[in-house]
Structure 1
Amino acid sequence: MTIAVTGATGHLGRLTIDALLRRSVPASDVVAVVRNPAKAAELAGQGVQVRTADYADRAALETALAGVDKLLLISGSEVGSRVPQHINIIDAAKAAGVGLVAYTSIPDAPNNTLQLAQEHQVTERLLAESGLNHVLLRNGWYWENYTNDLAGTAERGVLAGSAGDGRVAGAARADYADAAAAVLTSDENQAGKVYELGGDEHLTYPELARAISDVTGKPVEYRDLPVEQYRGILESAGLPAPVAAVLADADAGVATGVLDVTGGDLQRLIGRASTPLETVLRAAL
């Protein structure tokens, strides 16, 4: 049983491969699909098959997926370009005869109003139309989304956003990787299944600010801003305008509850509680 992971040198991809190996999948049965094989030298040293293919290169993807039984399609990171990239992977998987595709989507994708959800909605539809056996891993928010500027947040004493009093059911990136590995190694037929994945903690942004304060030892407060103002702050911090718009929109979506995932799918898959925010923050420090 050969299992491939796209974006294998990215954060989620690498963690998923680690989780597969912990679940006793032989390294020789794991295929790491990467753009830059030099970044996968450590994986190759573990015995993982490293195959080179860019999401934009349909022919290379088909070659990389030859002989693969199950594929974890980690959604592309280039917002606005993901649909054509995902089409290439889906077409390549179909041509290569992949038996099951697991796709990392977004919570409640068909009804999700976030800008970030649009490409996921299209990809889910394309998978349904492809005839490929597939399973949807609708990943919730990563706690790591709040650690990119953790030191800066603590220094300024302000966590800015547009989330109002909405709640986020976040989890560690490693939790979602573990869930993906559980699905890919399951003896049960996963075709057609949909998993809504979210953590045990359902936190508001004021609670997030207090957690950052507790971990860093510096007073941090949450400052709720209009979406346009928050987007401007993100742009002034150096983010491209389209990325800033998507992130500000996601914060506004928190206020409506779209990232407050319930149901316990993540916990059932990984067989434990999700990683607490405090643990993720301390690891980031």
Structure 2
Amino acid sequence: MIAVTGSTGALGGLVTKALAGSDFRIDLRLVVRDASRAPDVDCDVRECAYADEEAAVAALEGVDTLFMVSAAEAQDRRAQHRTFIRAAARAGVAHLVYTSFSGAAADATFTLGRDHHDAEQAIRDSGMAFTFLRDNFYSDLLPYFADAAGVIRGPAGEGRVAAVARADVADVAVAVLRDPAAHAGATYTLTGPEALTLTEVAARAGAVLGRDLRFEDETVEEAYASRAAAYDAEQWQLDAWVSTYTAIADGSCAEVTDDVRRVAGHEARTIEAALG
């Protein structure tokens, strides 16, 4: 029995589609907050929220391997993760596959990477076998950081990002879920085939999308001020938005690996392939 969370989203949806349409024989369960939004595939569907421990235990009973897509950005995200991880262990899940972030650490520049580090620690302490998929930023999302005028703004400077296609992350996840024992204890850093500046991202993505995109550097102070003026956001959210760019600026996201090829069996997609 394999359970998949996040199936109503892009990444979880890709994993669900691949597993449901595969000749590989599995029992598939979708764990969702709202069953009415679950993909229309022939499988068991259970409802729960990450923060509802008892509902999560009930939803996960009988599951051998769990694919856990990280929770949506929220101030209580760490508590949500820890509650759901605890529920998985109580339910008897043997192996948890978690979508983390490249460079996850207690002091990661990208503030949400610290949340992922906290989740990884909780999983390590749970007694379950695990596999961590540490995704870089998504190459098929970066162009949509642009505003209505086609400008991507942030304090990234000439830093580089080895952004990965969500489809590649899904392919790796499916390979792991089909043979979890072969990947027990592994941490994979999932990247694209090259590290690009945001100037290069804008030019290459714009060419695919038929849109005039460009990158405009900001100071950290300008980035906080522009976002605070435009959005009624709390400090933690502002920190997350700005640190997306500062993590690129300081090289935190520049490492290129061949983990997509090694696990999924094909080369990582370029930004053109991710958007095409």
Q: Normalization by structure 2: what TM-score?
A: 0.91
Task: Give me the whole-angstrom Cα distance separating, in 2, the residues matched to 1:251 and 1:54.
Answer: 30
The aligned amino acid for 1:263 is T
The aligned amino acid for 1:53 is C
Residue 279 of structure 1 corresponds to 273
Decide whether the 8 Å contact of 1:16 with 1:180 is kept in 2. yes
Q: Which moved more, 1:31-40 or 1:136-145?
A: 136-145
Please say if 1:122 is aligned against 2:118. yes
Provide closer, same or farther for how the CA distance between residues 208 and 91 of structure 1 changes in structure 2, counting only shifts above 3 A: same
The one of 192, 206, 218 equivalent to 1:225 is: 218
Listed one character per residue, the Cα deviations across residues 160-216 of structure 1 (whole Å, up to 9, x for unaligned) are 121111111112112111111111112643221111111112110110121133234
Task: Give me the whole-angstrom Cα distance separating, in 2, the residues matched to 1:144 and 1:77.
Answer: 18
1:131, CA displacement in angstroms? 1.2
1:219, CA displacement in angstroms? 4.1
Residue 6 of structure 1 corresponds to 5
Task: Give me the whole-angstrom Cα distance separating, in 1, the residues matched to 2:181 and 2:22.
Answer: 15
Listed one character per residue, the Cα deviations across residues 135-155 of structure 1 (whole Å, up to 9, x for unaligned) are 1111111013324355x45xx
- Segments of 5+ residues of structure 2 without an aligned counterpart are none
> SS of the counterpart of 1:148?
helix
Question: Percent identity between the aligned chains?
Answer: 35
Decide whether the 8 Å contact of 1:114 with 1:249 is kept in 2. yes
Residue 256 of structure 1 corresponds to 250
Residue 139 of structure 1 corresponds to 135
Please say if 1:175 is aligned against 2:168. yes
Task: Give me the whole-angstrom Cα distance separating, in 2, the residues matched to 1:229 and 1:53.
Answer: 40
Matches within 5 A, 1:1-285: 2-26=1-25, 29-40=27-38, 42-43=39-40, 46-110=41-105, 112-148=108-144, 152-153=147-148, 156-186=149-179, 188-238=181-231, 240-241=233-234, 242-282=236-276
Q: Which moved more, 1:251-260 or 1:181-190?
A: 181-190
Q: Normalization by structure 1: what TM-score?
A: 0.88
> SS of the counterpart of 1:163?
coil
Decide whether the 8 Å contact of 1:199 with 1:261 is kept in 2. no
1:245, CA displacement in angstroms? 2.3
The aligned amino acid for 1:128 is R
Task: Give me the whole-angstrom Cα distance separating, in 2, the residues matched to 1:207 and 1:69.
Answer: 43
1:60, CA displacement in angstroms? 0.7
> SS of the counterpart of 2:50?
coil
Decide whether the 8 Å contact of 1:140 with 1:261 is kept in 2. no
Task: Give me the whole-angstrom Cα distance separating, in 1, the residues matched to 2:82 and 2:76.
Answer: 11
Decide whether the 8 Å contact of 1:105 with 1:137 is kept in 2. yes
Q: Which moved more, 1:95-104 or 1:139-148?
A: 139-148
